[in-house]
Amino acid sequence: MTDTTHLGWKNFATWNVALWLFNEYPLYCVTKGHKGYATPYLSLREALKQTFGYIQTTDGISLWSSELDIKALDEAINES
């Protein structure tokens, strides 16, 4: 059986978004502010776009990528 995950995340895109959100201190603070929202990640990405103009990570992964595991990102935000 082959491991199809990327460092414990569903794929590279999800890992990269999580890495970006949780390892850039200003973004981490904004991310923590979405803890407890009904849809933390969806609310966060909209806020990042509206407030800062962010639509992708510094590595070019779209915050709207269909590859993202939204449920895993929601759980990570709620655990932050």
Instruction: Read off the amino acid at residue 68.
Output: L
Q: Is the pLDDT of residue 1 over 60?
A: no
The answer as to whether 54 is a domain residue is: yes
The answer as to whether 6 is a domain residue is: no
Q: Is the pLDDT of residue 2 over 50?
A: no
Q: What's the number of domains the chain is made of?
A: 1
The pLDDT of residue 6 is 74
52-63 per-position pLDDT tens digit: 999 999 999 999
The answer as to whether 5 is a domain residue is: no
21-44 per-position pLDDT tens digit: 999 899 999 999 999 999 999 999
DSSP-H helix ranges across 4-61: 12-23, 25-32, 40-52
9-18 per-position pLDDT tens digit: 999 999 999 9
CA distance 80 to 4: 25
The answer as to whether 64 is a domain residue is: yes
Residue 54: domain span: 12-79
Q: Is the pLDDT of residue 66 over 60?
A: yes
